[in-house]
Amino acid sequence: EVGWTDLDVRAVDTARILAADAVQKVGNGHPGTAMSLAPVAYLLYQNVMKHDPSDPDWLGRDRFVLSCGHSSLTQYIQLYLNGYGLELSDLAALRTWGSLTPGHPEVHHTTGVELTTGPLGSGLATAVGMAMAQRRQRGLLDPDAAPGTSPFDHHIWVLASDGDIMEGVASEASSLAGHQELGNLTLIYDQNYISIEDDTDISFSEDVAKRYEAYGWNAVTVDWREQESYVENIDALFTALEDSKTSDKPTLVLLRTIIAWPAPTAQDTGASHGSALGADEVAATKKLLGFDPDVNFPDDPEVLAHARLVMDRGQAAHAEWDTAYNTWRDANADRATLLDRLLAKELPDGFADAFPVFDADAKGKATRAASGEVLNALADVMPELWGGSADLAGSNNTTMKGEPSFVPASKSTDMFAGNEFGRTLHFGIRENGMGMILSGIALEGLTRPYGGTFLVFSDYMRPAVRLASIQQLPVVYVWTHDSIGLGEDGPTHQPVEHLAALRAIPGLDVIRPADANETAVAWRTALQIHDHPMALALTRQNVPTWDRTEFASADLTEKGGYVLVDAEGGEPDVILIGTGSEVQLAVHARQQLAEQGVRARVVSMPCREWFDAQDQSYRDDVLPPTVRARVSVEAGVAQGWRELVGDAGRIISLDHFGASADYETLFREFGITAEAVAAAATESI
């Protein structure tokens, strides 16, 4: 039905040979899946997906997600055959320094790669976020068009392996995809029964189609192994994929393949998953497929020219889309203006003025509450901002009041009314899934996502956070209940090591504001950042809102660290550095020290990364090298603070797990107090 010619078949076989050759050349890599999925990937790029290789950033394009990122050749070879700019020399440079063809696909590195994959499950889960973002973007820009008629309609195509399906994060995201009825999502699960420990029967015996039906997906099985001999029934796969385009649910296409097909002895073996086939096997495969065994990286101009005809079809589709797009622009001037702003990654007019300023208040306000007020203040100003929580909306203060939930209308509840284009996200108790979905939303490119849970559960979503950092995605994590200050829930819910562990991640900003106004400036600063993720660590408990006529301006939060209140009467004898809820302890200690005649400066340090990015002179102004007596105070592990307090300094920290009690008792019993800070200051001097 798809009507492949001999040249198409030759192109697919060329892809298999290139995969075997590329791995053989570098001596390591994953040839097997790239060989057996060659016809699948070729079908997607040539016959199924809407894309235009001459404009890889085309707004109307479908997205391709290679969740089995180890099989990067599956994509690289199609990017070559389809004319995305990769050439044979790039394939020959696989997995070498500086090449465009690293071991796993990397977004922002290789044209045509939409996301970075490799850690199993992550691509599939991220794809769910892309599918959600497509719907939200469509709702922002073109909500009234009939299904399938909008220039903002596009489809997400995922290739996944056994390992993807086993990972918990795939379960979380797939469950949510079914719930969200994401008809714009198709998952091809390559069931080849092989993983690194060889036959997957050793650890995996699920009925995967049934599992996905239980999530609310369509499940279609295309079994290329059902007959005595292996038959790659392209038409059956094509039909399943085409049908999925108009489904009102996400579709699982469970495709049974033989890994490394048709390599004569390597096929269906675990070794072919992650090792070069060996020169003899590569040569035998070439002979079998009618290629010259002595020619590596075969280059048949006729095959390439045929495959690259896809560019004409893509450009034609693009031109047709352009017409629809321009019609839309003409009819939707305001929305077009919004789109232009979003594409330019500009903030809206009135952005800076939208933020609340909080009055001084000794009783104070939890920074999570301040964060919630900021979000509400931004609701009308910044329609691209949306987010939610992993079932802790009320605790995380992540809901913009009055905004509809992003959920099929039939799934509205008494508490949350929703529709398919809604704004408030409900991730359920699926933190890692949430993290990957936030990345997928950011990768779609038009909107700004945030997501909340307790700081302690940042552990659950750490794989997603790391990938967001690698991919330089402007996601905001809203992590509340940021210390033993959460109190009675006890050690399993109290973060201790998390601030240090998160600061260790390259490219992630960890921001722990000390009061309501620092929280507002933290959000304001964070939303101006477009090239990496940010994490807010927010208190459950109230903290004083400082009088900023008495203390320094909260605008200095954007510097990462600043002199909140200086020593009185001359150069400081000691510098007290705090973050978040512990800054108030430093402020109290300063007072106690003053009564003893000791001059103490208080530095609020909401973001170590932002402070490190300041120039040396600013940093020396805040932390004069001549003042060696220093104390840091943070209700977390000491790790990392020696860098700022130096050999002469003291660190007030919490280097063990917490306990279940009210928070005042915990701070007192664990010695995180103003008195302790003052005593440490005296020691340090």
Q: Per CB under 8 A, does 419 bind a copy of itself?
A: no
Q: Is 66 exposed, middle or buried (0-12, 13-18, 19+ CB in 10 A)?
A: buried
- Minimal distance, residue 652 CB to a copy of itself, in Å: 15
Cα separation, 226 vs 252, in Å, equals 18
Q: Which is nearer to a copy of itself, 108 or 345 (CB)?
A: 108
C-alpha neighbours within 13 Å on the C-beta side of residue 564: 32
Q: Which of positions 31-90 make contact with a copy of itself (CB under 8 A)? A: 69-70
Q: Which of positions 169-188 make contact with a copy of itself (CB under 8 A)? A: 169-172, 175-176, 178-179
- Minimal distance, residue 658 CB to a copy of itself, in Å: 10
Q: Which is nearer to a copy of itself, 7 or 107 (CB)?
A: 107
Q: Which of positions 559-618 make contact with a copy of itself (CB under 8 A)? A: none
C-alpha neighbours within 13 Å on the C-beta side of residue 636: 26
Cα separation, 145 vs 485, in Å, equals 49
- Minimal distance, residue 161 CB to a copy of itself, in Å: 9
Quick one: tokens of 565? 């209140």
Helices 367-378, 516-527: axis angle to 10 degrees equals 50
Cα separation, 532 vs 476, in Å, equals 9
- Minimal distance, residue 170 CB to a copy of itself, in Å: 8
Applying CB under 8 A, among 198, 223, 361, 609 the residue interacting with a copy of itself is: 198
Count residues near a copy of itself (CB under 8 A).
Answer: 120
Cα separation, 379 vs 312, in Å, equals 43
b/e per residue 635-673 (b: at least 16 CB within 10 A)? bbbbbbbeebbeeebbbbbbeeebeeeebeebbeebebb
Closest to 229 measured CA to CA, from 261, 190, 251: 261
Q: Which is nearer to a copy of itself, 148 or 506 (CB)?
A: 506
Q: Which is nearer to a copy of itself, 223 or 555 (CB)?
A: 223
Q: Which is nearer to a copy of itself, 335 or 493 (CB)?
A: 493
- Minimal distance, residue 438 CB to a copy of itself, in Å: 15
- Minimal distance, residue 346 CB to a copy of itself, in Å: 28
Q: Per CB under 8 A, does 557 bind a copy of itself?
A: no
Cα separation, 51 vs 56, in Å, equals 8
Neighbours of 290 (CB within 10 A): 8
Cα separation, 354 vs 376, in Å, equals 10
Applying CB under 8 A, among 497, 599, 614, 685 the residue interacting with a copy of itself is: 497
Q: Which of 172, 384, 420, 431 is catalytic?
A: 431
- Minimal distance, residue 43 CB to a copy of itself, in Å: 26
x/- contact string, 241-280, with a copy of itself (CB under 8 A)?
A: -----------------------------x----------
Q: Per CB under 8 A, does 348 bind a copy of itself?
A: no
Q: Per CB under 8 A, does 491 bind a copy of itself?
A: yes
Q: Per CB under 8 A, does 350 bind a copy of itself?
A: no
x/- contact string, 199-218, with a copy of itself (CB under 8 A)?
A: xxxxxxxxxx-xx-xxxx--
Q: Is 572 exposed, middle or buried (0-12, 13-18, 19+ CB in 10 A)?
A: buried
Q: Is the peptide bond before 262 cis (omega within 30 degrees of 0)?
A: yes
Q: Is the dihedral of CA 609, 613, 616, 618 positive or negative?
A: negative
x/- contact string, 104-133, with a copy of itself (CB under 8 A)?
A: x-x---------xxxxxx------------
- Minimal distance, residue 155 CB to a copy of itself, in Å: 22
Q: Per CB under 8 A, does 392 bind a copy of itself?
A: yes
Check if 431 is active-site: yes
H/E run at residue 226: none
Applying CB under 8 A, among 245, 335, 493, 599 the residue interacting with a copy of itself is: 493
Phi, psi angle pair for 420, to nearest 5°: -65, -25
Q: Which is nearer to a copy of itself, 317 or 505 (CB)?
A: 505
Q: Which of positions 619-678 make contact with a copy of itself (CB under 8 A)? A: 637-640, 642-643, 646-647, 655-657, 659-662, 665-666, 669
- Minimal distance, residue 487 CB to a copy of itself, in Å: 8
Q: Per CB under 8 A, does 470 bind a copy of itself?
A: yes
- In which region does residue 617 sit, left (phi positive, over 0), alpha (psi from -120 to 50) or beta (all else)? alpha
- Reduced 3-state DSSP string for 271-290: HHHHCCCCHHHHHHHHHHCC
Applying CB under 8 A, among 241, 378, 400, 407 the residue interacting with a copy of itself is: 407
Q: Looking at this protein, which amino acid is placed at residue 391?
A: D
Closest to 514 measured CA to CA, from 394, 366, 398: 366
Residues paired with 255 in a beta bridge: 190, 222
Q: Which of positions 297-336 make contact with a copy of itself (CB under 8 A)? A: none
Q: Which of positions 127-166 make contact with a copy of itself (CB under 8 A)? A: 162-163, 166
Determine the 3-state secondary structure of 325 from DSSP.
helix
- Minimal distance, residue 672 CB to a copy of itself, in Å: 15
Q: Looking at this protein, which amino acid is placed at residue 169?
A: V
Q: Which of positions 428-467 make contact with a copy of itself (CB under 8 A)? A: 428-430, 432-433, 456-457, 459-460, 462-463, 466-467
Of 44-52, 390-398, 547-555, 581-589: span binding a copy of itself (CB under 8 A): 390-398
Applying CB under 8 A, among 10, 155, 365, 503 the residue interacting with a copy of itself is: 503
DSSP states of 12-50: HHHHHHHHHHHHHHHS-S-HHHHHHTHHHHHHIIIII--
Give catalytic residue positions.
431
